[in-house]
Every structure is written in C-alpha cells, then in structure tokens.
Amino acid sequence: MVFSSLPFLFFFLPATLILYFAVPDKAKNAVLLVMSLLFYGYGEPIYILLMLASILLNYAAGRLLGVFDAHEKRRRAVLALCVAANLLLLGFFKYAGLFVSTVKLLPAFSFLPDPQIALPIGISFYTFQSMSYVIDTYRRNCAPQKNLITFGTYVALFPQLIAGPIVRYVDVEKQLQRRTHSWEKTTNGVRLFLFGLCKKVLLANALGAVWEQCKAAPGENTTLAAWVGIFAFTFQIFFDFSGYSDMAVGLGKIFGFEFVRNFNYPYTADSITDFWRRWHISLGTWFREYVYIPLGGNRKGRARQCLNIFIVWALTGIWHGASWNFLLWGLYFGVLLTVEKFGLLARLKKAPRALAHLYTLFFVVLGWVIFDFTSVGDMGAYFVSLFTAGNGLVSGDALALLMTHLPLLAVSALFSVPTARAAFGRLHGRRGWRFLEPVLGVAAFVLCVASLVSSTYNPFLYFRF
C-alpha cells in the first residue's frame, strides 16, 4: 500500500488512527505492529512471512548479544552471522535475478533458469534498519530490546516501511518505550503529511507523465524535448521521494515519533559533496556509520580513503535497484566526490556561488539519466539527444511539451528551494492564518483526492452493448 492511494487515505489511515488512540498506551505498539503488518501484506501477503522472519532473526541476534555480554568472541560471531543472514536475504530477494541474468551472459551458464522472484517492497529499507539495530547493540550504543512487540514495531513501522527514511534504532529507542502525543504534534504531522501528499500527487505524478513521453523513445527527442524531459524527471524524483519522506515523518509525528529529516533542499547544493549531505540523508548516514567509518574512513591515508569512497558509492548505487546502471550511477558520484575531495571542493568554495550551483545541478541532472535508463543503449541515445541536435533543436511538439508544462516546472522549481516554505513559515504568526491554513489544507487535500480519483477514471470508448 502507498500513502498516496484511496485505500490508504480512506480506510487504512482512519482505522489505524481510531484503533491507536482508542487503546491504552501499553497496547499502542501492538496496534502499530499489527496494522503495519496488514499494511505490508496488502500488496504482497506472502511476504509478511519474510518480514516476520526478519524481525525474529534480528530480535534473536539482539537477545544473544545481551546474553553473551562477557564473551567478545561470541558476540562477534553473532554479529557476523546476523549481518550475513540479513545480507543474504536482501541479496536473494533483490539481486538474485540480476546475478543470474549476468552470469547467463557467459555461454557456459546460459542454461540457467531466470529466478522469478518478485521484489518484496521495502526490503532494502527494513533490512538496513534491522542491521543498524544489531550493529549498534553490538557496539553497545543501545541495549538489546527484550520486548518482541516493541522490536517488531520498530522494524515494521508502516510510516517509514516502504520508502524510508531509514530510521536508526538508536534514534527511536526511547520513543519506542515511551512517547507523547499532543495536538501540537498532530498538527505539525498533518501539515507535513499534506505537504508531502501534494508534492507526490500534484507535482511528481504530473512531472512523471512528461518524463514518460521523453523516455519512451530516447533516441528520437529533439534537444529541447530531451532537456525538458530530464528536468521533469529531476523534479519528479525529488518530489516523489521527499514527498514520501514528508508523509512518513508527518505520520510518525501523529503517532508520537520524531524521525530524522531526509531531504534538505538538495538542489540548492553548491557542490556534489553538499548535495549528498542534503539528499536521502538517512541513507548517507547509514553508509557513513556502518560502512565508511568501519572501513577506516579517511584515517588510513589517501589511497585507502579513495578505495573506501568507491566501495561506499558502489554499494550506495546498487542499493537503489538491482540493475547495473545503478552501480554506474553510484560510481559516477564516487568519481565526482573523489575529485572534489582532492582539490575541487576548495576551489568551488572560492568560485562565484552561481557557478558552484550550476556545476552541481549540471552533474546531478546528468546523473538522473544514468539513474533512470537500465539499458546502456537507451542511456547513450538520450545523452546524444541532450548534447547534439541530431533530431533537430526544437520541434512544435517539444515546444508544446515545454509550454503546457511551464507553470508546473516553475512551481516545482519554487518548491525545490526554501523560499516557498519560508513564506508559509512567516504566515504562521499572522492573524487570519489560523483560519486560512485549515481552508488551504482542506483545499489541497481535495485537489489531491481529485487527482487520485481522476487517475482511475478510465473511459472505455469502444465499449459494446
């Protein structure tokens, strides 16, 4: 189930809210756990079992780490086994298909059957969350969780289950035991949820339709159409992902949680290094805490640091999806970040701000081409149409595409920088805003619902009676 859907908004959400606030504090986690499992099972009922297995595995590992408190060797073995098991689950369910289809390229292995494994939704997110728990328990950053329901709630918690943020156990350890609920939190939560819903439904979905048109025939776009398309995708992926994160954080607030912020206006970054401090922050944090620093980070000399950067970025890339273009995308940023680390960053600091922003945006936008084409041939064709005029510079169709989506792109740009949000912030203290805000909120919600309903409106024009 996704948040931006009618079943979630009008059935799952009200049912969960009513149950959650009807039961006493003691039972609230249990309600969240059960509802989260239902939420997860809505799309793939069978994979509830996988989720339960993952919960049990990591719970047991945590308990064992507690039991073997005085035995360092045993603790290390438990950690190694548990991390290996988590990676194996992730590897099997997410990457088996990619692995087999790649091995099959060798003639000797071409007989292998394609594994038909549907990707369990959110597995990349909850596996990483569980691992953060086990690793931090091993490091004694947190105590083993003895209550299975509490732990299950942490892993399965539906707000961040499908698309993050990746909440580290240490960040919510206390909140899982005890959290407060207030109208103020709820108001902030609803506000953030609505904001995220609008980003996803009103902006990202519409931008996606523009990108689809340009992506369909990557070798046939005029230069203008290619740039309109990739900018549409640039905005789409930001509003889609950050919209989802906003909804997750908003829902979390309603249920008393405080999750970390996942996006901080990434397109306002003035270097690639800065961009990755602002984009999908929880993933970057995870890789820094559990891969980069354990590998030695920047403490073991330049050569080793380089290697560490490339390991982290290869993994970051492939984490985004089981396809080699994601690896390429990760390495692309690995190269850019290394170049920045060894000199460019210092120069960027002295360069005019506009130039630094332009440089960053240019490489980020081009990165999205690599990100969204799984076929290298299509990717290449799209790059060619971006930088040459082989199909012409402009066509009537390309101009129509641009002009009919210019307001959409303009609003997208406005909400990619802090200006719009700051303007809302200034209104908060004003008289009249307390009447205006609920009105605007409801209007925005109605527009989102209209768009969701409209997407299911499907005239069948040659129907026979």
Partner 1 sequence: MQKKKRARALPLCFFLMIAALTAAFFLLPKQSFAENEKRVLAEPPQWSWRALLDGSLTEQAQTYIADHFPLREAFVGLDSYAQQLFGRNGDSGVYRGKNGFLFAAQGEVSTRKTAENVRKIRDFAARNGLAATWMLVPCSGYTLGDCLPRFHKTYRDGEILDAAKDAAEGDTFLDVRDAFAVPDQTQLYYKTDHHLTSKGSLALYEAYCAAEGLQTQTFTLTQTSDGFYGTAYSKSGLWLTKPDTVELYTEDGGDYTVTITEGAQETTFSSLYFPEHLKDKDQYPVFLDGNHSVVKIVNNRCKNGKKLLILKDSFAHCFTTFLAANYETILMVDLRYCRTPLTATIAEEGIRDLLVLYGAENLATSTDIAWLALL
Binding interface with partner 1 (CB under 8 A): 5-7, 9-11, 13-14, 17, 42-46, 183-184, 186-187, 189-191, 194, 206, 209, 254, 395-397, 399-400, 403-408, 434-435, 437-439, 441-442, 445-447, 449-451, 453-454, 456-465
Closest contact distance (angstroms) between CB of 398 and partner 1 is 10
Which residues neighbour 105 within 8 Å (Cβ) at sequence distance 6 or greater?
Answer: none
Which residues neighbour 349 within 8 Å (Cβ) at sequence distance 6 or greater?
Answer: none
Secondary structure of residue 448 in the 3-state scheme: helix
- Report residue 331: phi and psi, to 5°: -65, -35
- Closer to partner 1 by CB, 32 or 201: give it: 201
**Count of alpha carbons within 13 angstroms of residue 427, beta-carbon side:** 14
- Residue 259 sits at the vertex; the CA angle it makes with 258 and 260, to the nearest 5 degrees, is 125
Closest contact distance (angstroms) between CB of 235 and partner 1 is 14
Contacts from 57-62 at CB under 8 Å and sequence distance 24+?
Answer: 57/82, 57/85, 57/86, 57/130, 58/82, 58/86, 58/130, 58/131, 58/133, 58/134, 58/151, 58/155, 59/145, 59/148, 59/151, 59/152, 61/134, 61/137, 62/133, 62/134, 62/137, 62/144, 62/145, 62/151
Handedness of CA 133, 131, 329, 162 (dihedral sign): negative
Structure tokens, 44: 């793939």
E strands within 343-400?
none
In DSSP notation, 158-187 reads: GGGTTT-----HHHHHHHHH-----HHHHH
Angle between helix 396-404 and helix 223-254 axes, rounded to 10 deg? 20
Q: Is 392 left (phi over 0), alpha (psi -120 to 50) or beta?
A: left
Closest contact distance (angstroms) between CB of 252 and partner 1 is 14
Closest contact distance (angstroms) between CB of 378 and partner 1 is 17
Closest contact distance (angstroms) between CB of 405 and partner 1 is 7
Handedness of CA 303, 270, 250, 241 (dihedral sign): negative
Q: Catalytic residue positions?
A: 320
- Closer to partner 1 by CB, 144 or 189: give it: 189
Q: What single-letter DSSP state applies at residue 266?
A: G
Closest contact distance (angstroms) between CB of 100 and partner 1 is 24
Please, are residues 264 and 281 in contact by the beta-carbon 8 Å criterion?
yes
Closest contact distance (angstroms) between CB of 444 and partner 1 is 10
Structure tokens, 313: 């970025």
- Closer to partner 1 by CB, 111 or 435: give it: 435
Closest contact distance (angstroms) between CB of 209 and partner 1 is 6
- Closer to partner 1 by CB, 52 or 315: give it: 52
- Rounded CA-CA distance 248/190 in Å is 11
- Closer to partner 1 by CB, 194 or 312: give it: 194
